[in-house]
Structure 1
């Protein structure tokens, strides 16, 4: 196994050197099997690939969305075709067409042809092999070369062996997947952990989102590095003059939240704030994971507003109406994905005492209990300090998605040079 990996890297290095010596810059292509769809919410998975495609040393990016299940369309057509984005994905999948976002960024939406893929692992692998066969044809037609395979789902582990076209493999450990899939049985969660361990061990390079995952990754692969999320700094600086209709009539001051509302959101804390500050509005922008969270516990709080998920490009138009940005999370090891978006607004940020927040002390207010969170909000609402706003924006600018793309390429080049 080790011999073949070294041989593969050596062949890639030699070919790269020969083909690109005159250019003085290696070009690679990325084939990303993502766990998130492309449209609307553009977070870590989408932003990494998008900003890599902007680089001169990257040829093209092929972004492969999660597979659609053909049998769900046959038996549940109404739910599957509900919404413009779903219909667009189904059209791409059924027509076997690619969607170019730019001349360097291409989206593919594959199909699972055999049912029960997530119930029987053998069926998942069979579907995955069929998808890979179709992807290979697309790659050949597009003419990708020097391919970096980029994986997210632990169940895609077989691609490390099957995807012969790759010259390098990256696993981006963006979630603690066994905990992320709340609908999975304990047995299936154990299987996820097994495949996590295997994919971490066998990938050429591993990126993780938290310090805890970094510790676990380095137990199996020394080529593991923490790579934080980023922000589109300019997006939160634009003055469009546009006021979204659904926030227009909400009373200020506004405590604002950007991101998915799921099991790690501390609804008891949210309710406590709403009851303690009845003249303040709490506005949540993001999709709600109803399978993992029950909003009924909020009772009759009339100053809490859930406005739903928005396109990433719209977030700046909402955030400009926030007076304070809040992170009412239960204690989790993974850093919040929107922290740099918050800082980019320049607005005060109040967070619960999460392990990942320690590095931002001095830029955000951190509360250890609900009473302290309430006091921090009161302090933040009274802040009128241009210097503090500037410091928060500066930290956000240093953590843009473009900077993350720089880090990825630097780690990639270092790994290749080490071999």
Structure 2
């Protein structure tokens, strides 16, 4: 396998998403040595009309509507990454898994494949790696004219797709197909690796990592205190990331009420209505700062006294290796997490893993009061073993046939 080959990444996460993306992080790491063509998850006509006044749509309008100017090189990304936008696709997830869905899915695949074929022609690609990041809704099997030009086709599974109603509707069976048809499947957790192994002989554990150079600045530099933290003179329990269905909102409310002498501070987008349903938005010591770019997170982390991963313990979270664990550790922060997966438990020597709500509440004080420079360095050292550089090296070992 030529490690300097071109890479086409087809990703469920768009490059300008408001939350951290493992797909984009890996793409940026690949771009140190490879040309990377990052195909955003296609926008549908429904997306277009709902978001048509947003920068996301306006910046892509010519490509979405007419297929013109589909390539861009955003200045915030490495110069070796070219972002690719397909034309608009049809919204079909609401359809039952029968003839009409299959027919329209073929139309959508044709739109995507037209973009890929044009990309191959325009950049004269051959012997490239085709890497699908957790987007099984498109092109479950590469057509022969494209497959003949690939050095390897790789699918990356990042969550148990069967455990979310919207994605399960079609995603579960489509993911089975793509795992079966692609050369290799990488899974971000040990549980996912077990779940996908029946569909292929080439399924490998390939966990998330962290942009440690970014997050270490919370330790190595004195960063300006974010405006949202100004005026806070209490201990801060912090959380970064999406606030949604994986979060244990009952536990979060207990944290806020039990630790009323502290601030519970969230940095990230809110999805769903649980924040309102549990009354978190009404508590005086709970603050929601909204989403921030990944480069802004270290400044928040520097001023947090501890950080939490308050996930529910269920079938979905059993298959999660959270991106944020290594980000937190790289920032040297004491971490308290629920015992939701065997992957999170592997960090028990550098994080506090709680088996009950009461233990979680107690461990917050323990984590804050026992924090010291030695523990901080131990966390940083562990995060240093879980970099995207290490993950890219492992990737090449796998696709070169040395994965086992």
User: How do 1:173-322 residues align onto structure 2 when only pairs under 5 Å count?
Assistant: 173-180=157-164, 182-183=165-166, 189=168, 191-238=170-217, 239=221, 241-290=223-272, 293-299=274-280, 300-322=282-304
Compute the displacement of 1:339 (Å).
0.4
C-alpha spacing 1:71/1:202, structure 2 compared with 1 (3 Å):
closer
Compute the displacement of 1:115 (Å).
5.2
What corresponds to 2:378 in structure 1?
A: 391
1:47-99 Cα deviation digits (max 9, x unpaired): 111111113xx3x11111111224553xx3xx413443443244553443311
Whether the 8 Å CA contact 1:351–1:366 is kept in 2: the answer is: yes
Whether the 8 Å CA contact 2:141–2:181 is kept in 1: the answer is: no
What corresponds to 1:29 in structure 2?
A: 6
Segments of 5+ residues of structure 2 without an aligned counterpart are 96-100
Residue 111 (str. 1) matches residue 87 (str. 2): yes
Decide which of 16, 32, 48 is 2:26's aligned counterpart: 48
Residue 130 (str. 1) matches residue 111 (str. 2): yes
What corresponds to 1:327 in structure 2?
A: 309
C-alpha spacing 1:391/1:115, structure 2 compared with 1 (3 Å):
closer
Whether the 8 Å CA contact 2:129–2:152 is kept in 1: the answer is: yes
User: How do 1:323-402 residues align onto structure 2 when only pairs under 5 Å count?
Assistant: 323-331=305-313, 332-333=317-318, 334-355=320-341, 356-402=343-389
What corresponds to 1:16 in structure 2?
A: none
Whether the 8 Å CA contact 2:64–2:87 is kept in 1: the answer is: yes
User: Per the alignment, in what secondary structure is the counterpart of residue 326 of structure 1?
Assistant: strand
User: Per the alignment, in what secondary structure is the counterpart of residue 175 of structure 2?
Assistant: helix
1:223-262 Cα deviation digits (max 9, x unpaired): 1111111111111222263222122233431111111111
Question: What is the aligned-residue RMSD (CA, Å)?
Answer: 2.2
Compute the displacement of 1:141 (Å).
1.0
Compute the displacement of 1:166 (Å).
2.3
**What TM-score do the two structures reach when normalised by structure 2?**
0.88
Decide which of 109, 128, 144 is 1:147's aligned counterpart: 128
Farther off after superposition, 38-47 or 276-285: 38-47
What corresponds to 1:18 in structure 2?
A: none
Compute the displacement of 1:113 (Å).
4.6
Aligned length: 381
C-alpha spacing 1:227/1:87, structure 2 compared with 1 (3 Å):
same
User: Per the alignment, in what secondary structure is the counterpart of residue 49 of structure 1?
Assistant: helix
Compute the displacement of 1:367 (Å).
0.9
Take 1:191 and 1:97, find their aligned partners in 2: how far apart are those partners? Answer: 28
Take 1:335 and 1:144, find their aligned partners in 2: how far apart are those partners? Answer: 34
1:127-179 Cα deviation digits (max 9, x unpaired): 22122112211221122221111112222243433533323110101111232
Residue 99 (str. 1) matches residue 99 (str. 2): no
What corresponds to 1:406 in structure 2?
A: 393
Take 1:134 and 1:224, find their aligned partners in 2: how far apart are those partners? Answer: 28
Take 2:379 and 2:155, find their aligned partners in 1: how far apart are those partners? Answer: 31
**What TM-score do the two structures reach when normalised by structure 1?**
0.85
